[in-house]
Structure 1
């Protein structure tokens, strides 16, 4: 396929672009400065669009609007809708949108979040993602297939390294918080995106999550690699986490390898954390 991908220099888009090229697809990278979120490019000749770009304050997704909520909505919601319409009008047959598990933040602690559960966002970030999901789904026809991915936290090597502040604080002997969270490796997310894009029945939303990872276990691994004698924080009670059920992806044969990839990549993640 010839696939246009937005956000190819971002935390998620870079993984998807690399996986698509490795799979033999022709990739058109829609990234700054040539492409700005909100543009309506001519995508004639493309088979698919994956929209992974998102404007937000550095390092922040929830709360990523900073002091400009209207600009945040204009760029991320209105801009996405213009992009979806441009893809449809250019004859693109498939569009995949990178949404977020933030669309489910309002559900009670401990809820198992299924693929078809009604959305309940509590942040502007989650609301914008949810509204873009709905608008894209409403555009779908037999000749214009659409779907959304709802990934949890994404990890893996590469800069900016999201665990850098945590790892630097730990290695410096500073106090670090106890926390458990759901995670998915960027390579596993990319594999999910390509599976959905190739699904003849692609539609609606697909949850994307793999590991429940505790700071205790992550930093114990950091200590083992670096020889640090600092003690990791106590384990958090993970029973109240809202965990994503990924039944639709697993039905497509998705088999994430997050734990193996974490063990393989942790030395590089540590090195990047020390650098930046």
Structure 2
């Protein structure tokens, strides 16, 4: 069993990480924004759930955590591993998340992250995984297969900050502080208390509004959390200082809404399918070689069915803006 500090624990990816680690018997310390109250426990109930961005399935210890590089670091004493999923951005935006303060965005997400890494290493934390992004690749040529050896060419400040943080963390890798970065694509999945990324899309479709198709790569949040746990427990020699692509499906709004149509028997027409052949896929051979197996189309299908159930009972909400 590990004792793991997860930054950004009340965010969507952070929540998936916390829940996955708890389910696999690890002790979790949830790093939340300074001033955030302790996350409540989600209690089983036959009534509709009360939505809270910081609801966990069981009680976990919380610590205040700031991305201000001048702020005091959280207490990493007794922590075996650090998962850094926190990210400061304009609500609802990652690319373009700097808003009108690019310097503050860089300071928080690059310098603040490096300060946390340094504090973790100094405290004796043995393993560290950083949540990076597909955005480090920028806009690759049509149809290119993105491997970890592909040259990063970020076009957004978001992508550049993720890439620079990856590079800086890799220089800190050593026998006593094993590091890795996971380049995640779009993350979907249903969690109690948090919105689903496709809730607004689903509402628009069910209301008969016209929708244009769009293609993209996706990964279920639990599969991403499984990849992160694997990087913390795999042989250090296979992980140390490396980046790992994390993606599962090349999908589209047409496919997603087709699943929703079947789950709801909605009669509205689907959007005309876009051509997916020009979209750059992410190669995940490096991660799969460690034993990672994502859920594939079956998990997507089950997730959309669960989303349909939530919409039918009125337990939906707008996507989060944090």
TM over 0.5: yes
**Contact 2:259–2:305, Cα closer than 8 Å, also in 1:** no
Where does residue 185 of structure 1 map in the other structure?
Answer: 220
Q: Give secondary structure in 2 for the equivalent of 1:12.
A: helix
Matched, 1:195 2:230: yes
**1:145-188 deviation digits (Å, cap 9, x = unpaired):** 11100011010013232112211111111111111111111111
**Contact 1:99–1:148, Cα closer than 8 Å, also in 2:** yes
TM-score (norm 1): 0.96
**Number of corresponding residues:** 276
Matches within 5 A, 1:1-276: 1-32=2-33, 33=36, 34-38=64-68, 39=71, 40-158=73-191, 159-200=194-235, 201=237, 202-203=239-240, 204-272=242-310, 275-276=316-317
Where does residue 57 of structure 2 map in the other structure?
Answer: none
Structure 2 distance, partners of 1:270, 1:129, is: 34
**Structure 1 residue 96, shift from structure 2 partner:** 0.4
**1:86-131 deviation digits (Å, cap 9, x = unpaired):** 1011111111000000000232121111022221100010001000
TM-score (norm 2): 0.82
Gaps of 5+ in 2: 37-63, 318-322
Runs of 4+ aligned residues of structure 1 deviating over 6 Å after TM superposition are: none
**Contact 2:132–2:182, Cα closer than 8 Å, also in 1:** yes
| Two-structure CA RMSD over aligned residues (Å) | 1.4
